[in-house]
Each structure stands twice: as C-alpha cells, then as structure tokens.
Amino acid sequence: PVIARRLGPFPEIVEAAEGGVLFETESELLDALRTIQTDQGWRDRHGDQARRAFETFWSEDQVLAAYGAELARAAHRKGDVSLARLLEAGAF
C-alpha cells in the first residue's frame, strides 16, 4: 500500500488506484503508519489494489505503449505519416 501526502498529483493517483491512504497532517501520517503496521487485512486489501493498479496503469509495458501512442499522434500532427505508422505498429 501507498502512504502519500495529499499534494500535487498524489490524491488523484492514490484514489484511482484505491491502494493506499493520503495524509495532510503529521497526526494523519502517524495514523496511516499505525494502520499499515497493525491491520493485516487492510494492508493485504490495499496492497493487492496497489499492485493491480500498477500493473494496469504504470507497468513498463503500459507506460511505453502510452508514450508510443503519444509520439504517433505527434508524428501525425507534424505530417510524418511513415513515422506515425511505425510507432502505431509498436516500433517504439
């Protein structure tokens, strides 16, 4: 499971993954640490969710596929159809 500060992109990521908890204060951080330390069921559930979210959204294969697709869109916008096709075919 993830413990992250409720700041920047972390709330969106942690909430979408349902694999952790967010904190704003020192007290909330300590509560989250105690929960992870003492609640095996919570730890297992959130750990499993975090793993599934990672494999679905942030694994190397997923990130590279999304990056390649974005590069292909950029190539299309620039008019480089041959490069776009290579990228769409997985050349990245």
pLDDT per residue as tens digits for the range 29-83: 999 999 999 999 999 999 999 999 999 998 999 999 999 999 999 999 999 999 9
pLDDT at 91 over 80: no
CA atoms within 13 A on the CB side of 54: 11
pLDDT band at 9 (very low <50, low <70, confident <90, very high): very high
50 and 22 in a single domain? The answer is: yes
11 and 36 in a single domain? The answer is: yes
Structural domain boundaries enclosing 76: 59-92
> Could you tell me the pTM of the whole model?
0.70
CA distance 15 to 12: 5
16 and 50 in a single domain? The answer is: yes
Q: How many domains does the chain have?
A: 2
At 90 the pLDDT is 83
51 and 63 in a single domain? The answer is: no
